[in-house]
A and B are shown apart, each in its own frame.
Chain A
Amino acid sequence: METDEKELSPQESLVLIQTMISKTKGAVADDSFHFLLWGWLVFICCLSSYILKTIVHYPNHFYVWLLMPVGGVVSAVYGARQKKTRTVKSFLDESLDYLWIAIGCSFLVLIIVNILNAQSWQTAFTYYILLYAIGTFVSGSLLRFKPLIIGGLINFGLAAISARFSYDNQLLIGSLAILISYIIPGHLLRRKYQKQKL
């Protein structure tokens, strides 16, 4: 675009507005890193916790969950770095940021509830899976990305079903839920963004 001297006709003005707005369409940041980090981390923790508890009979099987705060630090550092390199922030990016902050807070609240009330461990994964469902369904709908929407919808069903199972089996349902809603869509999302960059 050159100087501002050129006289615009109303028609040219409208075309210019449309062109510039359409240029911002690819402005959504690639969030696949967070899906893959949390997906694989929770998946590994669920399965190793199940193995340690039911097969090895290790009493402190829950130690594996100490990886969660590590994930939190990695996620925060990566997010801060990404923010530095980002040259544009869309309304969609902002909505997704607030959604995941709310989901993160909800996880913290649930963990505190579970620690304060020992009985609530029985339904812990029901609520965790419900939060995966909300996060991935809303993200998928905003990004118009079907694998996340489908993953979220399946997780709503898995959350309901999980209430019928013991905590041990809920660990297996949890790993299945995270595979469907985070890991598979996360890899597909990453591929989509990589294709867009080419």
Chain B
Amino acid sequence: MFKELDPILHSQLRLAVMSLLIAVKEAEFTYIREKTNATAGNLSVQVQKLKEAGYIEVTKQFKDNYPQTTCKLTPHGIEAFEAYVKALQQYLQAGQS
């Protein structure tokens, strides 16, 4: 019996953001935008969805008079990411057998 792939993570940009954040402690919005080549508008929408799902924590503050947004995975987000990777592995193993 296959586990359904988490629809929040099974999207190109949201998965890219989660994969970046799993590898670092925290990253600024500008860093994520640069690494994913996404537009600011689209990234903002996807970051908001991840935040609403409780997968990431978003901190907004001012740095030298410029707004700065920092993103970081929550423990719930890490669990969801791990479960997603496990489910992917199941699909791939089933495909091979």
A8 with B12, Cβ < 8 A, contacts A1-B36, A14-B88, A84-B64 known = yes
Query: Does the CB pair A1–B25 fall under 8 Å?
Result: no
Q: Which of B15, B27, B46 contacts A8 (CB 8 A)?
A: B15
Q: Does B19 lie within 8 Å of A17, measured CB to CB? A: yes
> A10–B91 contact, CB under 8 A?
yes
Nearest chain A CB to B17 CB, angstrom units: 8
Residue B78 lies at the interface, judged by CB distance under 8 Å to chain A: no
Contacts across chains A and B counted by CB atoms under 8 Å: 88
Q: Is A187 an interface residue (CB 8 A)?
A: no
Main secondary structure of the interface of A (DSSP, over half): helix
Which residues of B38-66 are within 8 A (CB) of A?
Answer: 38, 42, 46, 63-64
Q: How far is the CA of A67 from the CA of B15 in the complex (A)?
A: 50
Contacts of B64 in A (CB 8 A): 84
A23 to B35, CA, bound (A): 7
CB-based contact B24/A8 at 8 Å: no
Interface residue tally for chain A (C-beta within 8 Å) = 26
Which candidate, A56-64, A86-94, A164-172, is the interface stretch facing chain B?
A: A86-94
Contacts of A16 in B (CB 8 A): 12, 15-16, 19
B27 touches A4 (CB 8 A): no
B16 touching A10, Cβ below 8 Å:
no
Residues in A lying within 8 Å of B, measured CB to CB: 1-4, 6, 8, 10-11, 13-14, 16-17, 19-21, 23-24, 27, 84, 87-91, 93-94
Taking beta carbons and an 8 Å cutoff, which residues of B are in contact with A? 5, 10-16, 19-20, 22-28, 30-31, 34-38, 42, 46, 63-64, 84-85, 88, 91-92, 95
6 contacts between A and B (CB under 8 A): A1-B16, A10-B91, A24-B23, A88-B26, A88-B28, A89-B26
